[in-house]
Structure 1
C-alpha cells in the first residue's frame, strides 16, 4: 500500500496494483482499475516513486524469504521472538515413470 494525501488533507492508502493511470491536470488525479478517482496533492513523479518503492520493498522481502535470511523481513509479526530461519530444502532427483509400450 502507498500513502497519499487527498486535496482535503485526508490521508489515504492505495494498492499500487489497482492504479490504472496517473494524470497531471491542474491537480494530480489517480485513476484506479475499478473506476475510482482520487485527487491528491502529490505530483505524478512522487506517486510513481512511491509505487516503485513499494514494489522494490516487495521484491526485497521475497528475496530475503527465499534465501531464508530473515523470517519476517517486513516485521509483520509483532512477537517478541522471531521464528527460526530456515534454508532452502535440498532437491532430490526423482525418476519419471517409464512409458509402457
Structure 2
C-alpha cells in the first residue's frame, strides 16, 4: 500500500499490487488492473520509488521472520 495525493490535495492509500500503468499526460494517471484511474500529484518517478520502498519493506519483514 502506498500513500498518494489527488489533485485536490486529498490523500489516500492505494494497493500498489493493482497498478497496471502509471503515465504522465502531463498529470500523473495511475490505472489499476480493475480499470479504475486516479489522477495524482506525485510524478511517475515518485510512484516508482514508493512502490519499491513498499516491496522492500515486505521482503525485509519476511527475511526477519526466517
How far is 1:26 from its partner?
1.2
Which one has the bigger strand percentage?
Answer: 2
Q: Which residue of 2 aligns with 1:32?
A: 32
**Which of the pair is proportionally richer in helix?**
2
Give the whole-Å Cα distance in 2 for the aligned partners of 1:33 and 1:47: 16
**TM value normalised by structure 1:** 0.64
Structure 2 gaps, min length 5: none
Q: Hey, what does 1:64 align to over in structure 2?
A: 64
Q: Give the TM-score, by structure 2 length.
A: 0.97
User: Between Structure 1 and Structure 2, whose CA radius of gyration is higher?
Assistant: 1
Gaps of 5+ in 1: 67-101
* Residue number in structure 2 paired with 1:81: none
Three-state SS of the structure 2 residue aligned to 1:35 is coil
SS at match of 1:34: coil
Equivalent residue pairs, number:
66
**Greater relative contact order (Cα < 8 A, sep 6+):** 2
Runs (4+) of structure 1 exceeding 2 A deviation are none
Give the equivalent residue in structure 2 for 1:43.
Answer: 43
